[in-house]
Amino acid sequence: MPSFFRNKRLILILVSIIFLVALIGFTIRDRENLTLPEQFLQDTIGWVQTAFHAPVQFVTGTFDNVSDIKNTYEQNKVLKQKLLEDRNLLEDIQLLRKENKELRSMLDKNESLGGYTPIQATVIARGPEERWYKQLTINRGEQHGVQKGMAVITGEGMIGKIQSTSQVTSTIQLLSGFGGSNLIHAKVVGDDNQYGLIEGGYDEEKKALLLKEIPYDAKIEKGQLVVSSGMGGVFPSGLEIGKVREVVIDEYGLTQLAYVEPAADFYEINHVSVVDRDMFSPELDEQPEDPNEEEEGQ
């Protein structure tokens, strides 16, 4: 019965295409949480990933170190120079910090939008599908207080935000892989701050993030610092995102658009901090019971 087998094969393929479409439809929507089986699998494999990542990192790291040594002398010279400059800056910062603290205690306002608690984490895998998903897996999850939407930073600056969480692992979406639905409210630091939105992803050709919706009369110069504003409700303020590289009028001619060169290196990431902001966050935190605080939150 060859025709019968042919039909069976055809039906099998059709059924699998329907199954594919159903699965894609189920997972593509903006989900709050992963389902339990997904979390279980991610955590179990995350455990194996941890075991494998360290040795691989060691081997590949050794090669990197060898090539680093070549540049050490030049770097050393530059860094020594920089260190002298920074020492003066450090004293200034300490003075300012102390003054800030005193003034705050005078005002009786201890919380600030910039305060946060870092959750230290190690990267255990990097998604190989670089074209569509620039994501990392880290070894901290809901058990450690990580929540969907939190900002993730390295020592150099912001690298992304939490995409999804399991019990003991979570996935980071890198800034370079941001789609249209992810926004960060950011400010350009200057004499008077200008605000805009990091929006619409990453310009692959220019290697820059797009800061949109800047008022058309705002004066922004090349090299100005871009940090998170904290007004988005989830991130604290003051996380460094990058530096302005170029400012142009946007496609409609009503606002300005700045190309922002990211501060952090998106490729060599091993240790990250997940940022849990101290100030009440309407999206992440439960509604507080204290009525006073509630007013503040809303």
Partner 1 sequence: MKRLLLPAILLIFLILEGTATDFLPKEWLLSDYFMIPHWVFVILVYIAIFYDFDSTYYCVFYGIIFGFLFDLLYTDILGVYMFTYGIAAYVIHGVKKLLHANMFVAILMSIVGVALADALIFFLYSSVQGFVMTWKTYALMSLIPTLLANLVFTLVLYPFLPPLLYKWSEEQLASQKAV
Beta-strand ranges (E) seen in 127-228 are: 135-138, 151-153, 158-165, 170-174, 184-188, 194-203, 208-215, 225-228
Query: Mask: binding to partner 1, 213-232, rule CB under 8 A, as x and -?
Result: --------------------
Give the one residue of 36, 41, 103, 231 binding partner 1; rule: CB under 8 A.
41
Which residues are registered as beta bridge partners of 258?
A: 211, 247
Specify the stretch interacting with partner 1 by CB under 8 A; choose among 11-19, 154-162, 184-192, 237-245.
11-19
Give the one residue of 116, 119, 121, 135 binding partner 1; rule: CB under 8 A.
135
Q: Does 255 bind partner 1 (CB under 8 A)?
A: no
State the minimum distance, in angstroms, from the CB of residue 53 to partner 1: 6
Which residues are registered as beta bridge partners of 136?
A: 126, 172
Residue with Cβ nearer partner 1 (17 or 231): 17
Q: Does 4 bind partner 1 (CB under 8 A)?
A: no
Q: Does 284 bind partner 1 (CB under 8 A)?
A: no
Q: Dmax of the chain from CA atoms?
A: 90
- State both tokens at 134: 């620039």
How far apart, in Å, are the Cα atoms of 97 and each of 70, 88, 90, 91? 39, 14, 10, 10
Residue 278 near residue 117 (C-beta atoms within 8 A): yes
Positions that interact with partner 1 (CB under 8 A): 13, 16-17, 19-20, 23-24, 26-28, 38, 41-42, 45, 48-49, 52-53, 56-57, 60, 124-133, 135, 137, 163-164, 179, 204-205, 207, 267-268
